[in-house]
Amino acid sequence: MTDRKFWLDEPPADPWELPPDPLDLVDDAAPPPAPQVPTERRVSRGADGLRDEALVVLRELTGNPSAEFHPGQFEAIEALVARHERALVVQRTGWGKSAVYFISALLQRRAGAGPALIVSPLLALMRDQVAAAERAGVRAVAINSANVTEWTEIERLLAEDAVDVLFVSPERLVNPRFRDEQLPSLVAAMGLLVIDEAHCISDWGHDFRPDYRRIRHLIAELPPTVPVLATTATANERVVQDVEEQMGAGGHEVFTLRGPLARTSLRLGVLDLQTTWRRVAWLSEHLDALPGSGIIYCLTVSAADDTAAALAGAGHNVLPYTGRSDPAERLAAEEALKNNEVKALVATSALGMGFDKPDLGFVVHLGAPSSPVAYYQQVGRAGRATENADVLLLPGPEDREIWHYFATNAMPTQARADAVLEALAAAERPLSVPALEVRVDLKRAQLELLLKVLAVDGAVSYVQGGWVGTGEPWIYDAKRYERIAAARVQEQEAMLTYEAGASCRMEFLTEQLDDPHSAPCGRCDVCAEPWYPSHVTLEKAEAAQASLDRVGVPLPPRAMWPSGLDRLGIVADGKPLKGRIPAEDQTAEGRAVARLTDLGWGGTLRDLFRTDEDGRAVDAEVPRSLVDACVRVLQAWDWEQRPVAVAWLPSASRPQLVESLATGIATIGRLRPLGPLDLDPSAEAHSGATNSAFRVRDVWHRFSVPAAMRAELASLGGPVLLVDDLVDSRWTMTVAGRLLRRAGAPAVLPFVLASAG
């Protein structure tokens, strides 16, 4: 494989910064009639003839008779259409990468080729791309999990050669029906393959996705006459080299076009306010002064929900947007922001590549992403079609803990892979993810990610009915994952360097992307004076503290046993344990003081549950501040009947904490202390289970009700408060509560200091 690299010099004055994308020249509010794409075929094209033809298409697509190409756009089109090359385009957001692939697709269609296949990572991004294509007169369709009812019609259009561009998700490439029935004919007729957000291909990319890695196999199977385009705005040299290597499979030359990545419209800043409540107070006080409408990014779902609630309570028109939001709610929130009906969306990274609002006025981060490249991509949503946009980072003390959590949960291990492969080998039929889940001790998200990794490496395959092993060995590449882990640590350290602000912030970000055009921007708070206020009034500070000081998280009772318990040897009353949990065995709705991820009490609780240098839990009596918070939760609890007694779960790691919590509540509430349940030490052998079936297995025989407690339960006449320190899956409380109910407790009310989720 050989590569040709081209760096575009920054022009003295870029007339295309406003608006940034030729396709964005179309007025969304009142688009001109979509031009009809000519159907005549071009027999031959010289360099000048191709440029003239491409320029005509550009002007047809935009409805702008004076439109011209950005520097580099035609060069990329020429490489694809005239030379049928493989091209990698690394250009800043708003440069017009979509124009390159739409124009190339249409020119290929005019030359008699089939439709372009565009692999796009997110449904929301696909929606925007299809809408933009349709406005521009490009016949575009998408096949994804959100439009199943349209698949038959799309198949008909493909069969009739009535599609110019087909968008698919990388996950669709492994779907048996698509892979076996549709992909072969698409490959045979394909006029262009486009890999959008190509950094997702690379292990080193900040948003690596295993499904994207399959694309290298698709590229290798393409006829040499089919051009391939990969596009991204966020790739450093290491990612570029990785993508080039995959695109050049089979010895193909890769044409790489890189342009300057600095965004002249953005004004960057970092404001360290030390505490969470001060950050929320600052937003409450200064949000309305930020230009236009924008996005407030948070690192966790809880933080996004808490911040949105606090700002809404202060009178701001904001909406939350997270991966847990209902899809219809997310779509409605996107439209509300695009139409400037809200001041901001308070979002997690779920609102990322899939969102396109050229006039977005600001991006604020409540907590820092773990890498400067990821940060560059998120702030790049702002200022695409405005002269100025404000970008402010409000770092938090919890950032490093969150970075560590996400980094460690994303890595596969040899033990996990072996467990999955052994389960598939032992099965007589394909296994669905739920069926496989009860055979291996992995959470659903971890299992799905691992299956994708194993599929990319050829060790498993998805067929009709589920997953099967291929018989191919899978070897854990320890050195590779060690290198990736080390790179992630370096990225985190670089993010802390960015926060420290020893050099121009835009220059630092573009240097992280290995942009040789990096230079001081003259606008950020390092090059110039801080452009943002730093004060917080007492009124806003008190309001933010009050909002974040709320305690009391509902813990809904488990109503169904997880499937597969019979396979793990769990029986009840001589019968397999499955189906609905009888009402007489269930706990009532419980309460946690707060979540570990909460903005308010989360920091206090995370500190309480810390471990020492040897990884051992730090045990101590419950702090007075948390005792007061517990009392507030109990006072506000709208239970049907007040508890009359307290029992608690014995703790192997924090016995002092749990006992002091339970006895303290009994004393304050004048409740009868029943003592702890009995603990079977031999049940500790299975500690550390992660998914529901295995957690039930591990606690099923762990606890029992002491004889003395049984005698007291029969005469209580009221509910029992069941106390523990931390709840995650709620299965420990479910199993222990069942024991108490069967021993005579009229009702069981779970109560814990913290909820992990």
Question: What CATH homologous superfamily does 44-258 map to?
Answer: P-loop containing nucleotide triphosphate hydrolases (3.40.50.300)
Q: Is 551-755 in the same CATH topology as 266-398+504-547?
A: yes
List of residues 6+ apart from 443 with CB closer than 8 A:
690, 691
Q: Are 441 and 434 in contact (CB under 8 A)?
A: no
The whole-number pLDDT of residue 23 equals: 39
| pLDDT value at residue 287 | 96
What does the pLDDT read at residue 370?
92
Q: Which segments of 571-649 are extended strands (E)? A: 571-572, 575-576, 590-595, 645-648
Task: Give the model's pLDDT for residue 545.
Answer: 85
Rounded CA separation 5/413 (Å): 37
Distances in Å between the Cα of 484 and the Cα atoms of 359, 449, 455 are 36, 16, 20
Report yes or no: 285 and 540 within 8 Å, Cβ to Cβ: yes
Distances (CA, A) of 126 to 107, 118, 249, 326, 425: 22, 9, 27, 18, 37
The one-letter amino acid at 62: T
| The model's pTM | 0.79
Q: Which residues of the chain have pLDDT under 50?
A: 1-2, 9-44, 685-687
Give me the CATH code for the 551-755 domain, please. Answer: 3.40.50
**C-alpha 146: how far from its chain's center?**
18
Query: Which of these, 566, 644, 609, lies nearest to 728 by C-alpha position?
Result: 609
Nearest to 212 by CA among 232, 197, 234: 197
Residue 1 in tokens: 């494989």
One DSSP character per residue, 245-269 reads HHHTTTT--EEEEE-----TTEEEE
Q: What pLDDT shows up at residue 641?
A: 93
Query: What CATH number belongs to 413-475?
Result: 1.10.10.10
Quick check: 347 and 366 in contact, CB under 8 A?
A: no
Contact 382, 419 (CB under 8 A): no
Strands 86-90 and 254-258: parallel
Query: What is residue 171's predicted lDDT score, i.e. its pLDDT?
Result: 78
110-128 in b/e form (b: 16+ CB < 10 A) is: beebbbbbbbbbbbbbbbb
> Burial code of 249-279, b = ≥16 C-beta within 10 A, e = fewer?
beebbbbbbbbbbbbbbbbbbbbebebbbbb
Q: What is the largest CA-CA distance in the chain?
A: 95
Domain boundaries, the chain: 44-258, 266-398+504-547, 413-475, 551-755
What number does CATH give the domain 266-398+504-547?
3.40.50.300
pLDDT at 468: 93
